[in-house]
Copies of this chain bind each other. A is one copy, B any other.
Amino acid sequence: MAETNEVGNLSPFGPARSTVQGTPLSKDEIEKYNDFFKASLYLSLGMIYLRENPLLREPLKKEQLKARLLGHFGSAPGQIFTWMHFNRLIKKYDLDAFFVSGPGHGAPAVLSQSYLEGVYSEVYPAKSEDVEGLQKFFKEFSFPGGIGSHATPETPGSIHEGGELGYSISHAFGTVFDHPDLIALTMVGDGEAETGPLATAWHSTKFLNPITDGAVLPVLHLNGYKINNPTILSRISHDELKNLFIGYGWKPYFVEGDDVETMHQAMAATLEQCVVEIKKYQKEARESGKAVRPRWPMIVLRTPKGWTGPRKIDDNYLEGFWRAHQVPITDVHENPEHLELLEKWMRSYEPERIFGKEGRISEELKSLCPTGNRRMSANPVANGGLIRKPLKLPDFRDYAIKVEKSGATSFGSMVAFSKFLRDVVAQNQTNFRLFGPDETESNKLGKVYEAGKKVWMGEYFEEDANGGNLAPAGRVMEMLSEHTCEGWLEGYILSGRHGLINSYEPFIHVIDSMVNQHCKWLEKCLEVEWRVKVASLNILLTALVWRQDHNGFTHQDPGFLDVVANKSPEVVRIYLPPDGNCLLSVMDHCLRSSSYVNVIVADKQDHIQYLSMDDAIAHCTKGVGIWPQFSTDVGEEPDVVMASCGDIPTQESLAAIDLLLQHFPDLKIRCVNVVDLFKLIDPKDHPHGLSDAEWVSIFTEDKPVIFNFHSYPFMIHRLCYKRPGANNLHVRGYKEKGNIDTPLELAIRNQTDRFSLAMDAIDRIASLKNRGAAAREALRNEQIKASAYSYEIGTDPPSLKNWAWSHNGLWQKVASRIQG
């Protein structure tokens, strides 16, 4: 094993080797840290193994073990070591800090610290700081009805569960944005570090302003192993490793070894160096007013997996090998020798002496921890609802698109919204940000740059002055990584602020799993009493499937809604506003809401506008409704219900009504529009669901419903399967029939175009049984004629505008009919 103090040996064993030399700790302090470390390690093992006899005051019997052993020891020692040594600096420099636990199953580390800091007992009084409380604390870990082996929402001080790996760094950055005094001490697992999202999140420094934002201090834990494999970063040369992090823009400090005493000094000195550097860079920037990107400090901590455990058990390596990953000795129930070994190991942490008669650590040991909210497990930033201030929202009605005649105006819904959004940004310059993967301008939200530029801490070129919209301080966060944008936004929200992510619809699937996990986090938070609600996570989807004709098949995927709809109805909301005023109303609602994931689907192209602002508010408040101005069934039973959900499907559905009335002026058509998708579902399955009576009053029980839907048609069937007359629902939507097309042709392929819808209606309206054929044929011919353009070589395809519905026709026809 290495005997030198030079860093660079790949072995995690030996006396400490570190970039920073120094012995900041006295002998007495080292003793105390030794004891504190032992106390923490003991707790970690206790959580995994013990049901009774929590301080081993009697010889350990197998009956005192948990029957099912669960939990992970492997990464706990390194995480504990980092946490406890940072406490010294929190006290010394009065730091505002909290801890992000990146490695998988890191709960023993963070729970032990929370318990020793006294926070756990304050939050959960039954888990008191005595033998009785300790026993309960051990028992409930990974125990049915208890708490999990990750830093779940029940964990004080946590905003990052770490069930699915890869988001510690992006979460940490999101948390320190606009929190200039905060330090996120962020433990990164070397397994986690192999994931894509983590590998790119290191670049977040290019978006961190040292004046307005706090700092992230990453500690990459070279723990050496994953479940069953070595980690990449622990098995490349020191040179490569060092270069990698310099390349990512960091200044890496190395701390390596397993000799506890020398490691104390090395870690204490290194963490202090990092804190001093962080404060220096912040001071320089803040005093000069000049924000530059320093090479921020980070630590690479190389210690053996399962550090301080037995190196070998029988002939098998444990410490410093993957076998230390989870429960380190698994057969203690059946193997008395192994039980004895476990007991000996646990006693090596001296529980009796360290927890003493009272069953708690001494005041002297406790004094290593900060107090009050300076304790990392008590930092209010990790219960963001506590510190959240409501957004200042301008009156969205002031941004209304003027709609004098329904359907007579064409305007960009997104353009109207972007003005509102600009002013939201303007009025909330320290607690609202817009996130997106390089698509904000393309998504027609560029107006926001007037109130907040894109944050950019990379180099600047002269070109940037004209159309770059870049600035060291800004409100828009753009990096071509949906993962990083989403992770930042989650961190930003969970620490008490507000935000919105905008994305092309097809590529939002990139973060399916992140949104799933955030939904689960929110759902669980609702069950945790002390968690205060945070702002909703708002996802605005545009560049929609029906306008991805030219980009083709890869850009056509409206299926994110299916992913979201599977999550708990307590936390998910999906809106498809049919026009601009509805979009404004919906967005205002979403920005005010809390603890949801709101998904809003809206086209970014020019669009026919239907509703005045008052009508839009009324429509969005109901979430679904009959549109009398496009209906001809007033006071009567309709022949057919023409329903739609989504802005482009709504346009086609209305155009189909127009076509139908051209051929059958007497037809009684009911026009229905759905904004709030969950209105369709049974109220037992989602709180927004209509009652069956309300449902029937809108959709009828026995009339054909031609439902034009934005996404995959199956979604509507799954939402409505219980409804009376569900088998009268004929849903049209996207069915993976794509190509390079015109918008019309794309719709025709999927039978969501006006002609297909009108023909569909004719086929299903009982009263047209004997008189629909001619009209049907005429429509079919019209459709063929219209779509023929697309294929005729030498002719350009019809533009979108040519195929937009001629506005006035329908309105006048319907109006004259309604007015007699």
Binding site for B on A (CB under 8 A): 10-11, 51, 66-68, 70, 136, 139, 142-150, 152, 161, 163-166, 191-192, 194-201, 203, 206, 226-232, 235-237, 239-249, 315-317, 320-323, 438-442, 454, 456, 458-461, 463-464, 466-468, 470, 478-484, 506-507, 509-510, 512-513, 516-517, 520, 523-524, 549-555, 557, 559, 562-563, 565-568, 712, 714-715, 717-719, 721-722, 726-727, 736, 738-742, 745, 790-791, 793-794, 796-797, 799
Do A507 and B164 touch across chains, with their CB atoms under 8 A apart? yes
Do B717 and A721 touch across chains, with their CB atoms under 8 A apart? yes
A563 proximity list for chain B (CB < 8 A): 509, 512, 559, 562-563
A242 proximity list for chain B (CB < 8 A): 247
C-alpha spacing A565/B516, complex, angstroms: 18
Do A51 and B145 touch across chains, with their CB atoms under 8 A apart? no
C-alpha spacing A544/B478, complex, angstroms: 36
Do B243 and A739 touch across chains, with their CB atoms under 8 A apart? no
Least CB separation from A571: chain B residue: B736
Q: How far is the CB of A464 from chain B (nearest CB, A)?
A: 7
Q: How far is the CB of A557 from chain B (nearest CB, A)?
A: 6
Q: Determine which of B150, B166, B243, B523 lies in contact with A246 in the assembled complex, contact meaning CB atoms within 8 Å.
A: B243
Do B194 and A196 touch across chains, with their CB atoms under 8 A apart? no
C-alpha spacing A555/B178, complex, angstroms: 32
A226 proximity list for chain B (CB < 8 A): 438, 480
Do B200 and A479 touch across chains, with their CB atoms under 8 A apart? no
CB within 8 Å for A478 and B143 given contacts A196-B166, A196-B483, A512-B509: no
Q: How far is the CB of A792 from chain B (nearest CB, A)?
A: 9
Q: Determine which of B246, B461, B791 lies in contact with A145 in the assembled complex, contact meaning CB atoms within 8 Å.
A: B791
Q: How far is the CB of A637 from chain B (nearest CB, A)?
A: 23
Least CB separation from A470: chain B residue: B230
A714 proximity list for chain B (CB < 8 A): 565-566, 718-719, 721
Do A736 and B228 touch across chains, with their CB atoms under 8 A apart? no
A236 proximity list for chain B (CB < 8 A): 206, 249, 458-459
C-alpha spacing A566/B556, complex, angstroms: 12
A–B Cβ pairs within 8 angstroms, 16 of them: A152-B552, A164-B506, A164-B507, A194-B203, A194-B484, A230-B461, A230-B464, A230-B470, A235-B459, A240-B247, A512-B513, A520-B553, A523-B736, A559-B566, A721-B726, A726-B727
A483 proximity list for chain B (CB < 8 A): 195-196
Listed from nearest, the 5 A-B pairs whose CB atoms lie closest are A244-B247, A163-B554, A196-B196, A235-B458, A67-B796
Q: Determine which of B142, B227, B722 lies in contact with A441 in the assembled complex, contact meaning CB atoms within 8 Å.
A: B227
C-alpha spacing A68/B799, complex, angstroms: 8
Do B524 and A553 touch across chains, with their CB atoms under 8 A apart? yes
Least CB separation from A745: chain B residue: B144
Do B523 and A553 touch across chains, with their CB atoms under 8 A apart? yes
Q: How far is the CB of A230 from chain B (nearest CB, A)?
A: 6
CB within 8 Å for A144 and B740 given contacts A196-B481, A512-B512, A563-B562: yes
Least CB separation from A441: chain B residue: B228
Q: How far is the CB of A438 from chain B (nearest CB, A)?
A: 4
Q: How far is the CB of A518 from chain B (nearest CB, A)?
A: 11
Q: How far is the CB of A726 from chain B (nearest CB, A)?
A: 7
C-alpha spacing A721/B819, complex, angstroms: 40
A479 proximity list for chain B (CB < 8 A): 194, 232
Do A316 and B467 touch across chains, with their CB atoms under 8 A apart? yes
Q: How far is the CB of A166 from chain B (nearest CB, A)?
A: 7
Do B203 and A741 touch across chains, with their CB atoms under 8 A apart? no
Do B203 and A517 touch across chains, with their CB atoms under 8 A apart? no
CB within 8 Å for A149 and B551 given contacts A227-B441, A459-B235, A464-B230: yes
A247 proximity list for chain B (CB < 8 A): 240-248
C-alpha spacing A794/B510, complex, angstroms: 44
A549 proximity list for chain B (CB < 8 A): 144
C-alpha spacing A356/B714, complex, angstroms: 56
Q: How far is the CB of A820 from chain B (nearest CB, A)?
A: 40
Q: How far is the CB of A571 from chain B (nearest CB, A)?
A: 9
CB within 8 Å for A715 and B712 given contacts A191-B480, A509-B516: no
C-alpha spacing A12/B402, complex, angstroms: 47
Least CB separation from A741: chain B residue: B144
Task: Name, among A242, A480, A736, the residue most crowded by chain B CB atoms within 10 Å (CB to CB).
Answer: A480
A458 proximity list for chain B (CB < 8 A): 230, 232, 235-236
Q: Determine which of B148, B200, B249 lies in contact with A551 in the assembled complex, contact meaning CB atoms within 8 Å.
A: B148
C-alpha spacing A551/B441, complex, angstroms: 42
Q: Determine which of B240, B470, B520 lies in contact with A554 in the assembled complex, contact meaning CB atoms within 8 Å.
A: B520
C-alpha spacing A232/B457, complex, angstroms: 9
A442 proximity list for chain B (CB < 8 A): 227-228
A739 proximity list for chain B (CB < 8 A): 145
C-alpha spacing A196/B736, complex, angstroms: 27
Do A456 and B150 touch across chains, with their CB atoms under 8 A apart? no
C-alpha spacing A727/B199, complex, angstroms: 49
A568 proximity list for chain B (CB < 8 A): 736
Do A480 and B165 touch across chains, with their CB atoms under 8 A apart? yes
| Known contacts A200-B200, A240-B248; 6 further A-B pairs (Cβ under 8 A) | A144-B741, A145-B740, A164-B507, A194-B479, A227-B442, A237-B459
Do B196 and A198 touch across chains, with their CB atoms under 8 A apart? yes
C-alpha spacing A212/B359, complex, angstroms: 60
Do A481 and B516 touch across chains, with their CB atoms under 8 A apart? no
Q: Determine which of B10, B192, B567, B742 lies in contact with A459 in the assembled complex, contact meaning CB atoms within 8 Å.
A: B10
Least CB separation from A317: chain B residue: B463
C-alpha spacing A439/B10, complex, angstroms: 25
Do A480 and B553 touch across chains, with their CB atoms under 8 A apart? no
A478 proximity list for chain B (CB < 8 A): 228-229
A456 proximity list for chain B (CB < 8 A): 229-230, 235
Task: Name, among A460, A745, A797, the residue most crowded by chain B CB atoms within 10 Å (CB to CB).
Answer: A797
A484 proximity list for chain B (CB < 8 A): 194, 196
Do B797 and A566 touch across chains, with their CB atoms under 8 A apart? no
Least CB separation from A52: chain B residue: B794
C-alpha spacing A439/B203, complex, angstroms: 28
Do A517 and B166 touch across chains, with their CB atoms under 8 A apart? no
Q: How far is the CB of A743 from chain B (nearest CB, A)?
A: 10
A727 proximity list for chain B (CB < 8 A): 721-722, 726
A738 proximity list for chain B (CB < 8 A): 520
Least CB separation from A555: chain B residue: B163
C-alpha spacing A797/B143, complex, angstroms: 8
Do A195 and B194 touch across chains, with their CB atoms under 8 A apart? no
Least CB separation from A239: chain B residue: B246
Do B566 and A736 touch across chains, with their CB atoms under 8 A apart? yes
Q: How far is the CB of A465 from chain B (nearest CB, A)?
A: 10
CB within 8 Å for A200 and B199 given contacts A458-B236, A551-B148, A790-B144: yes
